[in-house]
Amino acid sequence: MKLGQNPEKMVPRKVIEHYSYYLTEDIGKGFSSKVFKGKNNKTGEIVAVKVLDMKTIKNEVQIFLLKNEIQVMKKLDNINCLKLLDMFQTANNTYIITEYCGHGDLKQLISQYKTIPEQIAVKVLKHIVNGFMELAH
């Protein structure tokens, strides 16, 4: 790579419908998935792209859990719950497009403060409880 060259320009963007992401911009991972920072190419909105490798989904329970996750996310409409924007299925992958939450997660918050001040802990707990209450409806 030449000095001053943008490394993103050397890596092709993966495109799913009107969303795209770089494989170098992963922001999380799970048992059978990776999450990437992506973009809605129509609006310019930053999104999260969860890519599930369907080869790792090997039994009916895992298929049920995936379908259930998608169905639950479709029904949720609450500030305390991650918003599903879109979903796509290919032969090899399932793509779940959600809003992008760029402020970190609870683990990062705990790491940052070591001991979370009571005011912040109460605020976080209220959001968690409100999210769970939304799931109960």
Considering the domain architecture, whether residues 79 and 125 belong to the same structural domain is answered as: no
Q: What is the mean pLDDT of residues 80-97?
A: 94
Q: Which of 29, 48, 30 is nearest to 38 (CA)?
A: 48
- Where in the sequence is the domain holding 134, given as residue range(s)? 104-137
Q: What is the mean pLDDT of residues 47-72?
A: 92
> Looking at per-residue confidence, does 21 or 102 come out higher?
21
Q: Per residue in 6-59, pLDDT tens?
A: 555 677 899 999 999 999 999 988 888 999 999 999 999 999 999 999 999 889
Give percent of the chain with pLDDT exceeding 90: 55
Structure token digits, residue 52: 């599930």
Considering the domain architecture, whether residues 94 and 124 belong to the same structural domain is answered as: no
Q: Is the pLDDT of residue 1 over 60?
A: no
Residues 125 and 82: their CA atoms lie apart, in Å, by: 16
1 located within any domain: no
Considering the domain architecture, whether residues 84 and 128 belong to the same structural domain is answered as: no
Residues 22 and 12: their CA atoms lie apart, in Å, by: 7
Considering the domain architecture, whether residues 88 and 112 belong to the same structural domain is answered as: no
Domain count, the chain: 2
- Lookup result for tokens 């911009």: 25
